[in-house]
Amino acid sequence: MDVVTPLWPRDLRLCFGTANILNGRSEVEAARLMDAALDEGIRYFDTAPMYCGGHAERLVGHVACRRRGKMFIATKAGMLPPSTSLPARAARRIAQAAGVSPPAFAVPPSRQFKPVQVAASLQTSLRQLGKSRIDMLLLHEPKPQDITDDLLTLLQDRRDQGDIGQFGLATGRQATKDIMARYPGVFSYAQVPDAMGDRNEVAISRSAATIIGSHSLLGERFASLVRRLTADDLLQARWRSTLGIDALDTSELARLFLAEALDYNDAGPVLFSSGNARNVRANVRLLSEPIDRQKIAALRALVQCMGIIEAETSPREARRSSARRRR
């Protein structure tokens, strides 16, 4: 297997995720939101066949058609959207009301990682996106046993033929670590969930051949933090005095968490999503007007004291420490 060693461009440091792009908004509103992100300088857009019931790829493709050459698009293979047929939708609603699992015909087939399945998924994505080439194809939630030599041969062939620019992983931290250990240097990109509390649980070593992209930094741990701050006036006051922001201003708090993620993952992209164009603009400003690292360190200390994270040395700090030792 040959090794791909990409250099991640600075203008792709922030990625706009489309998993929830149609939640609570029309397709026209969702397209306007992506246009706003593009206008602010966001170029990297992440999507998948299963997002928004299978509609996200098509919507991303429509915007890309209008904004030719402006978008770097990553999509995925391995997980399919659920059937949108009337019987399948009805079965899912009934199962949800009853608190049971829906019947098999109402859910997508799992583990779609055979070469023929990934090839079919790629062709469907190319058609949905209206493109002859996808910038990056990621295997969506694979387990180590899903990665085979035949699958890697397919991905490399499609890259060599120009159907995809590069390929990588989009799965959990442990699965990513195991797959990268088994196939070192093969995947040019690995997209993993990132929250301050998860990093010590499974440390993923970074190699020159693999860019790490992070996502889900504003997931359940962030929501739990907001709930605790809301319920505790003394905690709010401590956060306000330490960070100089309103602890209940979730937009500003989320922006600070995003700044921390960019600082932690200083060599790769960070994914975020937003339904507010003003927040998108504020997030993009982090690249040209980064938040002071002392405030980021204060945030880490506060979160650590709340038991949400364990003490950890960031990759940047580890590199600096190693350089000092060499001197």
Whether residue 118 lies inside any domain: the answer is yes
Whether residue 121 lies inside any domain: the answer is yes
E-assigned strand segments in 33-163: 44-46, 72-77, 134-140
Q: How far apart are CA 112 and CA 92, in angstroms?
A: 21
Degrees to nearest 5, angle at CA 178 with 174 and 183: 145
Whether residue 299 lies inside any domain: the answer is no
Degrees to nearest 5, angle at CA 11 with 8 and 12: 55
Domain containing residue 143: 10-78+113-218+266-290
pLDDT of 206 higher than 70: no
Whether residue 69 lies inside any domain: the answer is yes
pLDDT of 3 higher than 50: no
Whether residue 260 lies inside any domain: the answer is no
pTM for the predicted model, two decimal places: 0.85
Q: How far apart are CA 206 and CA 216, in angstroms?
A: 19
> What DSSP element (H or E) covers 192?
strand 189-193
pLDDT of 292 higher than 80: yes
Whether residue 234 lies inside any domain: the answer is no
- Residue 87's contacts (CB-CB under 8 Å, 6 or more residues apart) are 105, 106
Whether residue 253 lies inside any domain: the answer is no
Structure tokens at 224: 């739990």
pLDDT in tens, 31-70: 999 999 999 999 999 999 989 888 999 999 999 999 988 8
Whether residue 283 lies inside any domain: the answer is yes
Number of structural domains in the chain: 1
Q: Which CATH number do you get for residue 164? A: 3.20.20.100
pLDDT in tens, 214-249: 998 887 888 888 999 999 999 999 999 999 999 899
